[in-house]
Chains A and B, each alone.
Chain A
Amino acid sequence: MLLEQVEYVRPQSLDEALEILANDDGAAPLAGGQSLTNVLKNRVASVDVLVDISRLDDLAGIARTADGGLSIGACVTYDELDRSADVRQTHWLLGEVAAHIEDQQIRNKGTIGGNCCLSDPTNNLPPLLVALDAVMELRSRAGQRSVASADFFKGYFATALEPGELLVSVTVPPMPAGSGAGYTSLAVGADAKAMVRAAARVTLDGGTIADSRLVLARVAHVPVRDTDAEARLNGGDATEESVAAACAGVADGMQPIADVHGSSEYRRQMAKVMARRAVSQAVAAARGSRNGSKAGGN
Protein backbone atom coordinates (compact mmCIF):
# COMPACT_ATOMS: atom_id res chain seq x y z
CA MET A 1 0.00 0.00 0.00
CA LEU A 2 1.42 3.32 -1.03
CA LEU A 3 0.57 6.27 1.13
CA GLU A 4 0.25 9.75 -0.23
CA GLN A 5 3.46 11.77 -0.06
CA VAL A 6 3.87 13.06 3.48
CA GLU A 7 6.54 14.68 5.61
CA TYR A 8 7.64 13.24 8.93
CA VAL A 9 9.30 14.94 11.85
CA ARG A 10 10.25 13.72 15.30
CA PRO A 11 10.51 16.82 17.52
CA GLN A 12 12.97 16.65 20.40
CA SER A 13 10.74 18.49 22.86
CA LEU A 14 7.10 19.20 23.59
CA ASP A 15 7.64 22.90 22.81
CA GLU A 16 9.06 22.04 19.42
CA ALA A 17 6.06 19.79 18.70
CA LEU A 18 3.62 22.55 19.71
CA GLU A 19 5.52 25.02 17.52
CA ILE A 20 5.17 22.84 14.43
CA LEU A 21 1.49 22.15 15.17
CA ALA A 22 0.83 25.88 15.62
CA ASN A 23 2.53 26.85 12.37
CA ASP A 24 1.16 24.21 10.04
CA ASP A 25 -2.54 23.53 9.46
CA GLY A 26 -1.67 20.27 7.76
CA ALA A 27 0.32 18.91 10.72
CA ALA A 28 -1.05 15.91 12.63
CA PRO A 29 0.30 14.32 15.80
CA LEU A 30 1.37 10.69 15.37
CA ALA A 31 1.15 8.70 18.61
CA GLY A 32 0.69 4.92 18.41
CA GLY A 33 -0.29 5.15 14.75
CA GLN A 34 -2.79 2.30 15.16
CA SER A 35 -5.55 4.41 13.64
CA LEU A 36 -3.71 7.22 11.88
CA THR A 37 -1.69 4.84 9.70
CA ASN A 38 -4.93 3.38 8.36
CA VAL A 39 -6.38 6.86 7.89
CA LEU A 40 -3.35 7.69 5.73
CA LYS A 41 -3.68 4.45 3.77
CA ASN A 42 -7.34 5.18 3.07
CA ARG A 43 -6.47 8.75 2.13
CA VAL A 44 -9.49 10.01 4.04
CA ALA A 45 -7.58 12.88 5.63
CA SER A 46 -4.90 14.94 4.04
CA VAL A 47 -1.87 15.35 6.26
CA ASP A 48 1.18 17.38 5.20
CA VAL A 49 3.43 16.52 8.10
CA LEU A 50 3.30 13.78 10.70
CA VAL A 51 4.58 15.02 14.05
CA ASP A 52 5.85 11.93 15.90
CA ILE A 53 5.11 12.60 19.57
CA SER A 54 5.57 8.99 20.68
CA ARG A 55 9.07 9.42 22.12
CA LEU A 56 8.52 12.69 23.99
CA ASP A 57 9.39 12.35 27.69
CA ASP A 58 6.75 14.92 28.62
CA LEU A 59 4.01 12.65 27.28
CA ALA A 60 5.37 9.43 28.83
CA GLY A 61 4.89 7.70 32.12
CA ILE A 62 2.31 7.26 34.85
CA ALA A 63 2.67 9.29 38.04
CA ARG A 64 0.82 9.20 41.35
CA THR A 65 -0.75 12.58 42.10
CA ALA A 66 -0.56 14.17 45.56
CA ASP A 67 -4.22 13.33 46.25
CA GLY A 68 -3.72 9.66 45.35
CA GLY A 69 -5.01 9.85 41.78
CA LEU A 70 -3.11 9.13 38.58
CA SER A 71 -1.51 11.38 36.01
CA ILE A 72 -1.15 9.37 32.81
CA GLY A 73 0.99 10.68 29.97
CA ALA A 74 -0.84 10.86 26.63
CA CYS A 75 1.59 8.43 24.99
CA VAL A 76 1.27 5.71 27.64
CA THR A 77 0.28 2.52 25.80
CA TYR A 78 -2.53 0.12 26.70
CA ASP A 79 0.10 -2.48 27.56
CA GLU A 80 1.75 -0.04 29.98
CA LEU A 81 -1.63 0.64 31.63
CA ASP A 82 -2.18 -3.11 31.94
CA ARG A 83 1.22 -3.65 33.57
CA SER A 84 1.34 -0.56 35.77
CA ALA A 85 1.41 -1.46 39.48
CA ASP A 86 0.12 2.04 40.31
CA VAL A 87 -2.87 1.69 37.98
CA ARG A 88 -3.69 -1.79 39.23
CA GLN A 89 -3.39 -0.75 42.87
CA THR A 90 -5.96 2.04 42.86
CA HIS A 91 -7.74 1.91 39.47
CA TRP A 92 -7.65 -1.81 38.75
CA LEU A 93 -10.41 -1.68 36.13
CA LEU A 94 -8.54 0.85 33.98
CA GLY A 95 -5.67 -1.61 33.64
CA GLU A 96 -8.12 -4.43 32.96
CA VAL A 97 -10.04 -2.59 30.24
CA ALA A 98 -6.73 -1.65 28.58
CA ALA A 99 -5.66 -5.31 28.79
CA HIS A 100 -8.67 -6.31 26.71
CA ILE A 101 -8.33 -3.89 23.80
CA GLU A 102 -8.17 -5.95 20.63
CA ASP A 103 -4.80 -7.75 20.63
CA GLN A 104 -1.24 -7.67 21.98
CA GLN A 105 0.22 -5.93 18.93
CA ILE A 106 -2.26 -3.06 19.16
CA ARG A 107 -1.84 -2.86 22.95
CA ASN A 108 1.93 -2.49 22.51
CA LYS A 109 1.48 0.60 20.29
CA GLY A 110 -1.91 2.21 20.93
CA THR A 111 -1.91 5.08 23.42
CA ILE A 112 -4.47 6.49 25.87
CA GLY A 113 -4.06 9.83 24.11
CA GLY A 114 -4.73 8.43 20.66
CA ASN A 115 -7.65 6.39 21.95
CA CYS A 116 -9.28 9.58 23.26
CA CYS A 117 -8.24 12.11 20.60
CA LEU A 118 -9.55 9.97 17.76
CA SER A 119 -12.99 9.92 19.44
CA ASP A 120 -13.93 6.78 17.56
CA PRO A 121 -17.23 5.76 19.22
CA THR A 122 -16.05 2.13 19.36
CA ASN A 123 -12.89 2.93 21.36
CA ASN A 124 -12.75 1.31 24.78
CA LEU A 125 -11.29 3.94 27.07
CA PRO A 126 -13.54 7.03 26.65
CA PRO A 127 -16.64 5.72 28.50
CA LEU A 128 -14.55 4.44 31.39
CA LEU A 129 -12.64 7.71 31.71
CA VAL A 130 -15.95 9.61 31.83
CA ALA A 131 -17.25 7.26 34.55
CA LEU A 132 -14.06 7.86 36.55
CA ASP A 133 -14.39 11.68 36.26
CA ALA A 134 -11.06 11.89 34.42
CA VAL A 135 -9.74 15.28 33.31
CA MET A 136 -7.97 15.89 30.02
CA GLU A 137 -4.93 18.17 30.20
CA LEU A 138 -4.46 20.06 26.92
CA ARG A 139 -1.60 22.25 25.85
CA SER A 140 -0.88 24.53 22.91
CA ARG A 141 1.64 27.28 22.36
CA ALA A 142 -0.93 29.60 23.96
CA GLY A 143 -0.96 27.67 27.23
CA GLN A 144 -2.48 24.84 29.18
CA ARG A 145 -6.12 24.09 30.01
CA SER A 146 -8.06 21.28 31.65
CA VAL A 147 -11.25 19.84 30.18
CA ALA A 148 -13.50 17.36 31.99
CA SER A 149 -13.64 14.07 30.08
CA ALA A 150 -17.43 14.41 29.93
CA ASP A 151 -16.95 17.62 27.89
CA PHE A 152 -13.99 16.42 25.81
CA PHE A 153 -15.78 14.02 23.45
CA LYS A 154 -17.77 16.23 21.10
CA GLY A 155 -19.00 13.89 18.39
CA TYR A 156 -18.16 11.29 15.80
CA PHE A 157 -14.35 11.64 15.51
CA ALA A 158 -14.59 15.11 17.10
CA THR A 159 -13.15 16.38 20.39
CA ALA A 160 -12.66 19.65 22.27
CA LEU A 161 -9.07 19.89 20.94
CA GLU A 162 -8.42 23.17 19.15
CA PRO A 163 -6.07 23.34 16.16
CA GLY A 164 -2.49 23.29 17.40
CA GLU A 165 -3.45 21.70 20.70
CA LEU A 166 -2.13 18.43 22.12
CA LEU A 167 -3.53 16.22 24.83
CA VAL A 168 -0.55 15.94 27.18
CA SER A 169 -1.97 13.82 29.99
CA VAL A 170 -5.08 12.39 31.55
CA THR A 171 -5.68 12.99 35.26
CA VAL A 172 -7.74 10.32 36.96
CA PRO A 173 -8.89 11.37 40.42
CA PRO A 174 -8.63 8.90 43.30
CA MET A 175 -11.56 6.50 43.66
CA PRO A 176 -13.81 7.91 46.43
CA ALA A 177 -13.74 5.91 49.68
CA GLY A 178 -16.18 3.01 49.47
CA SER A 179 -16.43 3.12 45.69
CA GLY A 180 -16.00 0.57 42.93
CA ALA A 181 -16.18 0.53 39.15
CA GLY A 182 -17.64 -1.79 36.52
CA TYR A 183 -17.47 -2.11 32.72
CA THR A 184 -19.36 -4.39 30.34
CA SER A 185 -19.55 -4.71 26.58
CA LEU A 186 -21.84 -6.45 24.15
CA ALA A 187 -19.50 -7.81 21.51
CA VAL A 188 -19.22 -10.76 19.15
CA GLY A 189 -16.04 -12.53 20.23
CA ALA A 190 -13.62 -11.77 23.05
CA ASP A 191 -11.96 -8.35 23.12
CA ALA A 192 -13.80 -7.31 19.94
CA LYS A 193 -15.46 -4.03 19.07
CA ALA A 194 -18.67 -3.55 21.03
CA MET A 195 -22.21 -2.78 19.91
CA VAL A 196 -23.10 -1.33 23.31
CA ARG A 197 -21.02 -0.68 26.40
CA ALA A 198 -21.68 0.54 29.92
CA ALA A 199 -19.21 1.87 32.47
CA ALA A 200 -20.22 2.57 36.05
CA ARG A 201 -18.84 3.84 39.31
CA VAL A 202 -20.77 3.63 42.57
CA THR A 203 -19.95 4.86 46.05
CA LEU A 204 -21.56 2.92 48.87
CA ASP A 205 -22.64 4.16 52.25
CA GLY A 206 -23.35 0.93 54.10
CA GLY A 207 -26.02 -0.88 52.09
CA THR A 208 -27.00 2.23 50.15
CA ILE A 209 -25.69 3.68 46.91
CA ALA A 210 -24.66 7.20 47.89
CA ASP A 211 -23.40 8.31 44.48
CA SER A 212 -23.13 6.86 40.99
CA ARG A 213 -21.91 7.40 37.46
CA LEU A 214 -23.49 5.43 34.65
CA VAL A 215 -22.01 6.01 31.20
CA LEU A 216 -23.26 4.40 27.99
CA ALA A 217 -21.20 4.02 24.82
CA ARG A 218 -22.29 3.24 21.26
CA VAL A 219 -25.77 4.50 22.14
CA ALA A 220 -24.72 7.91 20.86
CA HIS A 221 -21.52 8.81 19.00
CA VAL A 222 -19.93 9.94 22.27
CA PRO A 223 -20.09 8.44 25.76
CA VAL A 224 -23.24 9.70 27.53
CA ARG A 225 -24.15 9.71 31.20
CA ASP A 226 -27.63 8.44 31.93
CA THR A 227 -28.32 10.96 34.69
CA ASP A 228 -31.94 9.77 35.09
CA ALA A 229 -30.73 6.28 35.92
CA GLU A 230 -28.05 7.72 38.21
CA ALA A 231 -30.76 9.63 40.10
CA ARG A 232 -32.73 6.39 40.55
CA LEU A 233 -29.65 4.55 41.78
CA ASN A 234 -28.57 7.27 44.21
CA GLY A 235 -30.06 6.73 47.67
CA GLY A 236 -31.33 3.28 46.70
CA ASP A 237 -30.34 -0.10 48.11
CA ALA A 238 -27.20 -1.68 46.74
CA THR A 239 -29.08 -4.92 46.14
CA GLU A 240 -29.46 -6.78 42.85
CA GLU A 241 -33.22 -6.16 42.81
CA SER A 242 -32.88 -2.47 43.45
CA VAL A 243 -30.11 -2.05 40.85
CA ALA A 244 -32.17 -4.00 38.31
CA ALA A 245 -35.18 -1.80 38.97
CA ALA A 246 -33.14 1.39 38.56
CA CYS A 247 -31.59 0.09 35.33
CA ALA A 248 -34.88 -1.03 33.79
CA GLY A 249 -35.41 2.49 32.48
CA VAL A 250 -31.88 3.02 31.16
CA ALA A 251 -31.74 4.83 27.81
CA ASP A 252 -35.52 5.36 27.80
CA GLY A 253 -35.12 9.08 27.30
CA MET A 254 -32.57 8.60 24.54
CA GLN A 255 -32.76 7.87 20.83
CA PRO A 256 -29.98 5.27 20.41
CA ILE A 257 -28.15 5.17 17.10
CA ALA A 258 -29.01 2.50 14.53
CA ASP A 259 -26.48 0.93 12.16
CA VAL A 260 -25.65 -2.43 10.57
CA HIS A 261 -24.74 -3.79 14.01
CA GLY A 262 -28.08 -3.17 15.63
CA SER A 263 -31.31 -1.20 15.54
CA SER A 264 -32.04 1.65 17.88
CA GLU A 265 -34.49 -0.41 19.93
CA TYR A 266 -32.08 -3.36 20.18
CA ARG A 267 -29.41 -1.02 21.49
CA ARG A 268 -31.82 0.43 24.05
CA GLN A 269 -32.70 -3.02 25.37
CA MET A 270 -29.07 -4.11 25.46
CA ALA A 271 -28.04 -0.85 27.15
CA LYS A 272 -30.32 -1.78 30.05
CA VAL A 273 -28.64 -5.17 30.39
CA MET A 274 -25.10 -3.77 30.09
CA ALA A 275 -25.93 -1.03 32.60
CA ARG A 276 -27.33 -3.46 35.16
CA ARG A 277 -24.24 -5.67 34.86
CA ALA A 278 -21.80 -2.78 35.04
CA VAL A 279 -23.49 -1.31 38.12
CA SER A 280 -23.63 -4.74 39.79
CA GLN A 281 -19.91 -5.18 39.09
CA ALA A 282 -19.23 -1.77 40.56
CA VAL A 283 -21.22 -2.63 43.71
CA ALA A 284 -19.32 -5.91 44.08
CA ALA A 285 -16.02 -4.08 43.60
CA ALA A 286 -16.97 -1.45 46.17
CA ARG A 287 -17.71 -4.22 48.66
CA GLY A 288 -14.44 -5.98 47.90
CA SER A 289 -11.04 -4.52 48.60
CA ARG A 290 -10.48 -3.60 45.00
CA ASN A 291 -11.39 -0.34 43.30
CA GLY A 292 -12.67 -1.83 40.10
CA SER A 293 -14.18 -5.26 39.86
CA LYS A 294 -12.56 -8.40 38.62
CA ALA A 295 -15.62 -9.76 36.90
CA GLY A 296 -16.71 -9.21 33.36
CA GLY A 297 -13.65 -8.73 31.14
CA ASN A 298 -14.14 -5.81 28.81
Chain B
Amino acid sequence: MGERGTSHAVTVEVNGEKVSRIVAARQLLVHFLRDTLGLTGTHIGCDTGNCGACSVIVNGKLVKSCMILAPQVDGATIETVEGLADGDSLSPLQESFHEHHALQCGYCTPGMLMSATYLLRQNPDPTDEEIRRGIRGNICRCTGYVNIVKAIRAASREQASGGRPVPAAAGEEV
Protein backbone atom coordinates (compact mmCIF):
# COMPACT_ATOMS: atom_id res chain seq x y z
CA MET B 1 0.00 0.00 0.00
CA GLY B 2 1.26 3.46 -0.81
CA GLU B 3 1.20 5.85 2.10
CA ARG B 4 -1.48 8.50 1.79
CA GLY B 5 -1.23 11.91 3.41
CA THR B 6 -0.58 15.63 3.23
CA SER B 7 3.07 15.13 4.19
CA HIS B 8 5.60 12.55 3.09
CA ALA B 9 9.09 11.40 3.95
CA VAL B 10 11.35 11.94 0.97
CA THR B 11 14.92 10.76 0.46
CA VAL B 12 16.83 12.06 -2.55
CA GLU B 13 20.39 12.41 -3.70
CA VAL B 14 21.07 16.02 -4.66
CA ASN B 15 24.38 16.77 -6.38
CA GLY B 16 25.87 13.62 -4.89
CA GLU B 17 24.62 14.20 -1.35
CA LYS B 18 21.87 12.11 0.23
CA VAL B 19 19.18 14.13 2.03
CA SER B 20 15.98 13.09 3.82
CA ARG B 21 13.18 15.50 4.69
CA ILE B 22 9.49 15.51 5.49
CA VAL B 23 7.75 17.46 2.73
CA ALA B 24 4.22 18.75 2.25
CA ALA B 25 2.43 16.93 -0.57
CA ARG B 26 1.66 20.33 -2.08
CA GLN B 27 5.27 21.54 -2.11
CA LEU B 28 6.73 22.05 -5.59
CA LEU B 29 10.15 20.53 -6.25
CA VAL B 30 11.55 24.00 -7.00
CA HIS B 31 10.52 25.17 -3.51
CA PHE B 32 11.96 22.01 -1.96
CA LEU B 33 15.30 22.79 -3.62
CA ARG B 34 15.31 26.53 -2.91
CA ASP B 35 13.54 26.88 0.42
CA THR B 36 14.02 23.53 2.15
CA LEU B 37 17.55 22.75 0.92
CA GLY B 38 18.72 26.33 0.36
CA LEU B 39 19.85 25.60 -3.22
CA THR B 40 18.79 28.94 -4.67
CA GLY B 41 20.70 28.54 -7.94
CA THR B 42 17.54 27.04 -9.44
CA HIS B 43 15.37 30.02 -10.36
CA ILE B 44 11.63 30.63 -10.65
CA GLY B 45 10.69 32.73 -13.65
CA CYS B 46 7.07 31.96 -14.37
CA ASP B 47 5.82 29.18 -12.14
CA THR B 48 3.71 27.84 -15.00
CA GLY B 49 6.13 25.62 -16.90
CA ASN B 50 6.83 28.17 -19.61
CA CYS B 51 10.24 29.71 -18.94
CA GLY B 52 12.61 26.87 -18.01
CA ALA B 53 14.53 28.87 -15.36
CA CYS B 54 13.74 26.09 -12.87
CA SER B 55 15.14 23.26 -15.05
CA VAL B 56 17.00 20.51 -13.20
CA ILE B 57 17.93 16.93 -14.05
CA VAL B 58 16.01 14.19 -12.21
CA ASN B 59 17.12 10.58 -12.73
CA GLY B 60 19.00 11.68 -15.83
CA LYS B 61 15.99 13.49 -17.34
CA LEU B 62 15.75 17.22 -17.86
CA VAL B 63 12.58 18.55 -16.20
CA LYS B 64 11.05 21.79 -14.96
CA SER B 65 11.05 21.68 -11.18
CA CYS B 66 8.00 23.95 -10.90
CA MET B 67 5.96 21.25 -12.67
CA ILE B 68 6.73 18.45 -10.19
CA LEU B 69 5.64 17.95 -6.58
CA ALA B 70 8.30 17.19 -3.99
CA PRO B 71 6.84 13.80 -2.94
CA GLN B 72 7.05 12.62 -6.57
CA VAL B 73 10.86 12.59 -6.51
CA ASP B 74 11.27 10.26 -3.54
CA GLY B 75 14.25 8.01 -4.26
CA ALA B 76 15.49 10.15 -7.15
CA THR B 77 18.93 11.45 -8.07
CA ILE B 78 18.76 15.20 -8.70
CA GLU B 79 21.29 17.45 -10.39
CA THR B 80 21.05 21.23 -10.03
CA VAL B 81 23.23 24.06 -11.31
CA GLU B 82 25.17 24.00 -8.01
CA GLY B 83 26.51 20.58 -8.98
CA LEU B 84 28.06 21.65 -12.29
CA ALA B 85 31.27 23.31 -11.03
CA ASP B 86 33.94 21.32 -9.25
CA GLY B 87 34.82 23.65 -6.40
CA ASP B 88 36.05 26.86 -8.01
CA SER B 89 36.60 25.15 -11.32
CA LEU B 90 33.70 25.85 -13.69
CA SER B 91 32.33 23.12 -15.96
CA PRO B 92 33.31 23.46 -19.64
CA LEU B 93 29.80 24.72 -20.40
CA GLN B 94 29.92 27.32 -17.64
CA GLU B 95 33.35 28.38 -18.85
CA SER B 96 32.04 28.62 -22.40
CA PHE B 97 29.00 30.73 -21.34
CA HIS B 98 31.46 33.06 -19.59
CA GLU B 99 33.79 33.29 -22.58
CA HIS B 100 31.06 33.81 -25.17
CA HIS B 101 29.10 36.38 -23.19
CA ALA B 102 26.11 34.02 -23.13
CA LEU B 103 24.46 35.80 -20.21
CA GLN B 104 23.53 39.32 -19.31
CA CYS B 105 21.30 39.45 -16.23
CA GLY B 106 21.92 35.75 -15.65
CA TYR B 107 18.41 34.92 -14.52
CA CYS B 108 17.86 32.24 -17.17
CA THR B 109 21.42 30.90 -16.94
CA PRO B 110 20.98 28.08 -14.40
CA GLY B 111 18.15 26.60 -16.48
CA MET B 112 20.04 27.15 -19.74
CA LEU B 113 23.09 25.38 -18.31
CA MET B 114 21.02 22.38 -17.20
CA SER B 115 19.31 22.14 -20.62
CA ALA B 116 22.68 22.44 -22.37
CA THR B 117 24.23 19.84 -20.06
CA TYR B 118 21.40 17.43 -20.85
CA LEU B 119 21.63 18.16 -24.58
CA LEU B 120 25.37 17.48 -24.79
CA ARG B 121 24.95 14.23 -22.88
CA GLN B 122 22.31 13.05 -25.36
CA ASN B 123 23.95 14.52 -28.41
CA PRO B 124 27.64 15.44 -28.00
CA ASP B 125 27.88 17.05 -31.44
CA PRO B 126 24.60 18.91 -32.05
CA THR B 127 23.88 21.08 -35.08
CA ASP B 128 22.83 24.68 -34.44
CA GLU B 129 19.22 23.65 -35.08
CA GLU B 130 19.52 20.85 -32.54
CA ILE B 131 20.99 23.30 -30.02
CA ARG B 132 18.10 25.70 -30.60
CA ARG B 133 15.61 22.88 -30.16
CA GLY B 134 17.48 21.73 -27.05
CA ILE B 135 16.93 25.10 -25.36
CA ARG B 136 13.40 25.53 -26.79
CA GLY B 137 11.97 25.34 -23.27
CA ASN B 138 14.25 28.04 -21.84
CA ILE B 139 13.38 31.70 -22.26
CA CYS B 140 16.04 34.40 -22.17
CA ARG B 141 14.84 38.00 -22.15
CA CYS B 142 18.32 39.52 -22.54
CA THR B 143 20.73 37.87 -24.94
CA GLY B 144 18.71 37.08 -28.05
CA TYR B 145 20.08 33.51 -27.77
CA VAL B 146 22.85 33.94 -30.37
CA ASN B 147 25.68 33.87 -27.83
CA ILE B 148 24.04 31.05 -25.90
CA VAL B 149 23.99 28.92 -29.05
CA LYS B 150 27.62 29.89 -29.74
CA ALA B 151 28.64 28.95 -26.21
CA ILE B 152 26.98 25.54 -26.39
CA ARG B 153 28.47 24.86 -29.81
CA ALA B 154 31.95 25.81 -28.58
CA ALA B 155 31.60 23.61 -25.50
CA SER B 156 30.55 20.66 -27.67
CA ARG B 157 33.63 21.16 -29.86
CA GLU B 158 35.83 21.40 -26.80
CA GLN B 159 34.28 18.20 -25.49
CA ALA B 160 34.99 16.52 -28.85
CA SER B 161 38.62 17.62 -28.92
CA GLY B 162 39.14 16.73 -25.27
CA GLY B 163 40.52 20.14 -24.30
CA ARG B 164 39.22 23.47 -22.95
CA PRO B 165 37.39 25.67 -25.43
CA VAL B 166 39.40 28.22 -27.36
CA PRO B 167 38.18 31.74 -26.54
CA ALA B 168 36.66 33.40 -29.56
CA ALA B 169 38.30 36.58 -30.81
CA ALA B 170 35.96 39.56 -30.48
CA GLY B 171 33.45 39.69 -33.33
CA GLU B 172 34.68 36.48 -34.89
CA GLU B 173 32.24 33.76 -35.85
CA VAL B 174 33.08 30.66 -33.80
Contacts and interface: CB of A to CB of B under 8 A. Distances in A.
Given A33-B72, A34-B67, A108-B63, A7 B137 contact: no
Contact of B137 (A10, A54, A106): A106
Interface residues of A, number: 35
A8 to B, nearest CB: 4
Given A7-B6, A9-B2, A12-B2, A108 B61 contact: yes
Interface string A141-177: 0000000000000000000000000000000000000
Contact of A2 (B26, B72, B137): B26
A9 B4 contact: yes
A41 B30 CA distance: 14
Interface string A11-40: 110001000100000000010011001101
**Size bin of chain B's contact surface:** 20 to 34
A200 interface: no
Contacts of B89: none
B39 interface: no
Interface string A76-102: 000100000000000000000000001
Given A30-B72, A105-B49, 5 more contacts: A5-B26, A6-B26, A7-B5, A105-B64, A106-B137
Interface of A: 1-12, 16, 20, 30, 33-34, 37-38, 40-41, 49-50, 52, 54, 79, 102-106, 108-109, 190-191
Smallest CB-CB A-B distances: 3 pairs: A103-B137, A8-B25, A9-B4
Interface of B: 1-6, 8, 25-26, 28, 47-49, 52, 55, 61-64, 66-69, 71-72, 74, 115, 118-119, 133-134, 136-138
